[in-house]
Structure 1
Amino acid sequence: MRRFRAGKALGSLAMAAAVGTVSACSAGHTAVVDTSQVESNSASSPLTVASTSAATSLDFTTTGGAAIPAVLMDNVYETLVRIDEDGSITPGLATSWEISDDARSYTFHLREGVTFSNGDAFTAESAAFSINYVREKWTNGISAAMDPVDKATAIDDHTLKVRLKQPSNGWLWSMGTATGAMMTPNGMDNLAAQPVGTGPFEVFRFAPSEFVELKVRKNYWGKPAAHDVTVRYFPDTISSVNALQAGGVDVVWGVQNPELLDDVKDGIVTEVGTTNGEVLLSMNNARAPFDDPRVRQAVAYAVDRKAANDILWNGLAKDTGGAPIPPTDPWFQGKHYYDYNPDKARQLLEEAGAEGAEITLTTPTLPYAQTVAELLYSQLTEVGFKVKLESAEFPAVWLGQVMGAKDYQMSLISHVEPRDVPTLFGDPDYYLNYDSPRTRELLAQADSAPEQDYPKLMAQAVDQIMADAGALTLMNMPNIVLTRTGVRGLHPDQITDALILRDLSSADATASTDSADNTTDTTAKEAR
């Protein structure tokens, strides 16, 4: 029996299956939903965080994308375990846990005195409900992270037992992400606008694609958040940076135009963190010419990843060697699988009889994607492809056409969910249409292997994926964050799917509510 208690971290050998897009469906709805009558528990004006990745719903049980978990996880919803900044697993709503000798039974001991924002008590019954609800009701692809679970059962009010079908190195780690969000049965009626969690904030108002207002919760079980926070969505980085310089926002999260950094005013601080965001050049493995691995390999050799990094990020992004893993994953090896070699690309196209192959690159209407598409057009044309560029409005059209219907030849998007190799490449029905029995075998072996063998087997799976050129990662995106002087407590490194706001504070919270409201009106018009 292995025992884990508060203050003792479990190693970060894990994976989290996840859907890899930046936003979700139902774009364009702009009605403001007043979700609560709660009054602010903060003595200061709210702090405002600007983002260009908009939440169009607050229900990630049915809607894919990273924007919803970013604003809700750790802020509104909490999990039994938390993922620390070094990737280790630490206590959350569970103070300790034991793992059986066969690694199939987990017994969690839960915190007492924890309540949901609607007043319900957090108990082992609600924890068991949350886990079983993912397995039985979720339609979001990230629910695959719960596939190892056989059953979750409440032993008493504060003791939860989870039985797995087979050992899983990745399951406990995934419980620190969105799939591990603890919910109450009495809070499921309006998840899209009024999520109910145990976290330090609750949603006060929500306008899809415009803003989410988070109010500090009274009677929160832990250390209270310092300020109310509004996450406000902008159509592009330029408008969000302009709002920061004009005093309308306090933080710009995820700057996608690093050239803007040269022009920011004094009094603005720049931080660069890490992300899980792999900019993935996807090739539909089931559609010609990309049903031939030699053609996919030719693409990998034809693309100059360094040039893409320089154009998009002034060299601030991380080259992962083409592999779909961030450097923070324990199976990252630093290998360069496909170095830029146009001659090798031409040779492979000739071997495949694919010289002059016509391909269409379907690009989401996101700044980084539109910018790098021009470079890809040039480099792929140079080696002999006949390239056509087309744009797909993001999120609704791209999600429906590319990810949903798989009606595309080539596309690109940043997959930002943590440890998502099993979802991207372990499911032959995923939009990549990558179907490799050997890769699936390696991923299954890795998940059920002894813990010490997990990174080695995951690395072998990555090697197989890259040998097949199932897709090509152009770069691992940096997280460039701008803050006004005096704002502190932000966490620029993204280890999981959460934008952690509980520690965000300011020596002088000067954000103007009136300015914020005016910004909302302007942003709504521009977004439409």
Structure 2
Amino acid sequence: MDRTPDTAVTEDTVQQTVPDQQDASFHQLNIGELTPIRSLDPLLAATTSEMHAIQLIYEGLVRFDEGGDIVPAVARKWTSSNNSYQYTFHLRPDIFYHDSDIFGSGTGRKLTAGDVKFIFKRMAKPGVSDRAARLFMNIQGFEAYFREQHYVYNSSSRKLDDISGITAPNDTTVVFNLNESDPDFLQKLATPLAVIYPKEAINGQNNFETVGSGPFSFSQQTNDSTFIFAKFQNYHTASDIELNRIDMVTSDNESGLWQAMEAGDIHYLSELGPSLSQQLLTENNELASSYSGRYRLSRSNASTEFNLRRYTGSDISQDTGTDIAQQVQPNLDSLFANLSSVISNPSLVTDDSKVASMSNLQIRATAPEGPFEKIVLQHLGNALAEQGVQFAISDLHIPTKETGLFFTRTMPLIPSLAWQEQPVILSFTLQPYTLAHQAVEGVSTNQYPWWINLRSTEIPALENIN
């Protein structure tokens, strides 16, 4: 790291290595994921599976390493002013996008500073989640641009065509000016919400083409649940990447994923769900001896907070929300039966008011995304049924007047999708386990549950895995 009297400078000093000869064997890693992949658009990503995939395809100006520290990515170095109000990023000159028909020649073009400006302007547009925008409101002019885009409906009446605090003096330089110092600014830039993609990826009204500059390109989706990624040969450190292909298989069927792993068709589970945690872990939270010779268990350093909330626009009143918590308080442990190895800090929001009769009450919850929310809701429904409550889980993923209970996930640096201010009834923290075939080396995770790095992953050729 170089320093000058009035700026702090960070620069990439990693030397590329070129092997004497290319290994002729084909190295493929198959990953099992418990949450769905519905979109590979970085601004629409909501599940950990989607965020894992996004980090294969795209890179931001910076990224995290396995220690949770910021390292260069698309930017080769950056400087910050003494008061940290200004950041200047100098882009690598050798960053190219994946080959795609979105470019006239079909060959990926060079990434430029204009692409960086574009992705921040898109964050502020209607039609995408506002989570990324909420991270960057501190950039000068960002909030004004965001509010005009969202609330001045007649586009001819809008006065702003740019975000004043983001400038690109040339194709390899981007400057950010902030309203005030933000100690987490670089960390925010390293999230999956701030990865960079070409302007050409947006075709029409938010029709998104999956093209990035990351270590792997999206090859194809073979069915509803299998996503294939191929090594990007023009990645700036492609010679250091051993994997030729990564398949992500998503399923909420833990048993099916486990059977595929036992058959050798899956090599890494990014999260053990409730059923597998109970099956594979001993009372000391170690891998059962019958599996230890074939697999390697790791406890994640990352934690996610789950909150069951009451939608204030629904038929469930504040008193009813309190009554729900009061009724299940004596049997709180039953909501987390057999989950103590991965779930911690369970709590219910209650008061000392008299509990009303809940007989014949009808309560509906939204459909949760992950396996832990699902099983806790099932246990909650069983507990409420004993009190005469008619409990059901809707097919909808959003709260409505009729679906008054819903889960939110809180992950470091990632704003909740919506309704995060709604009152909490139940909360718990999840610190999951991962499971890898013994032949797999170098899958990196850190304190962020959405982060994964496969640049250094090694696995024997498929025919040599047993």
TM bucket (normalised to shorter chain) is 0.7 to 0.9
Counterpart of 1:23 in structure 2 is none
2: distance between equivalents of 1:503 and 1:406? 48
1:398 partner amino acid: L
2:39 equivalent in structure 1: 57
Q: State the partner residue of 2:11.
A: 6
* Structure 1 residues 487-512: Cα deviation after superposition (integer angstroms, max 9, x where no partner): 11112445153332222221343389
**Of 176, 179, 183, which residue of structure 1 is paired with 2:197?**
183
Say whether the 8 Å CA contact 1:229–1:501 is kept in structure 2.
no
The aligned counterpart of 1:364 is: 367
2:122 to 133, 141, 152: 133
Q: 1:196 to 1:189 in 2, by over 3 A?
A: same
Aligned equivalent of 1:153, options 156, 159, 167: 167
Instruction: Identify the match of residue 112 of structure 2 among 107, 118, 123.
Output: 123
- Please give the alpha-carbon distance, in whole angstroms, between the structure 1 residues aligned to 2:181 and 2:447: 27
Give the alignment's Cα RMSD to 1 decimal.
Answer: 3.5
Uncovered stretches (5+) of structure 2, i.e. residues with no partner: 1-5, 14-21, 100-107, 142-162, 281-287
Mapping for residues 310-459 of structure 1, pairs under 5 Å: 310-311=337-338, 313=339, 315-320=340-345, 322=347, 347-350=352-355, 354-356=356-358, 358=361, 360-362=363-365, 364=367, 367-377=371-381, 379=383, 386-392=388-394, 397-399=395-397, 401-402=398-399, 405=400, 407-412=402-407, 415=409, 417-420=411-414, 423=416, 430-431=418-419, 434=422
Residues 146 and 179 in structure 1, CA contact (< 8 A), matched pair in contact too: no
Instruction: Report the more deviating stretch, 159-168 or 44-53.
Output: 159-168
Tell me by how many angstroms 1:302 deviates. 1.9
Partner of 2:262: 245
Higher helix residue share: 1
Relative to 1, partners in 2 of residues 1:321 and 1:98: Cα closer, same or farther, differing over 3 Å?
A: farther
Query: Which amino acid in the other structure matches residue 226 of structure 1?
Result: E
Q: State the 1:70 CA deviation.
A: 1.9
The CA deviation at 1:176 is 0.7
Asked if the contact 2:124/2:130 (under 8 Å) is kept, the reply is no
| Structure 1 residues 108 and 265: CA distance shift in structure 2, 3 A | closer
The structure with more radius of gyration? 2
- Would the aligned equivalents of 1:42 and 1:216 in 2 still touch at CA under 8 Å? no
Offset at residue 111 of structure 1 (A):
2.0
Match of 1:215 in 2: 230
Measure, in 1, the Cα distance between the counterparts of 2:420 and 2:410: 16
**Number of matched pairs:** 404
For 1:282, give the aligned amino acid.
R
The question of whether the paired residues in 1 share the 8 Å contact of 2:302 and 2:447 is answered with yes
Q: Deviations over 1:175-198 (max 9, x none)?
A: 111221111113333987741111
Q: Distance in 2 between matches of 1:320 and 1:482?
A: 24
* Structure 2 contact 322–425 (Cα < 8 Å) conserved: no
Aligned to 1:260: 279
Question: Is 2:25 the counterpart of 1:71?
Answer: no
Deviation (angstroms), 1:2 = 4.7
| Partner of residue 482, structure 1 | 435
Distance 1:161 1:306, change over 3 A: farther
Asked if residue 473 in structure 1 is aligned to residue 462 in structure 2, the reply is no
Find 2:308's aligned residue among 281, 302, 306: 281
* Local SS of the residue matching 1:368: helix
SS at match of 1:243: helix
Q: Distance in 2 between matches of 1:161 and 1:374?
A: 50
Of 142-151 and 483-492, more deviation after overlay is shown by 142-151
Structure 1 pair 47/174, CA: closer, same or farther in 2 (3 Å)?
same
CA contact (8 A) 1:48 1:511 kept: no
Q: Evaluate the alpha carbon distance shift between residue 107 and residue 306 of structure 1 in structure 2; reply closer, same or farther with a 3 A threshold.
A: farther
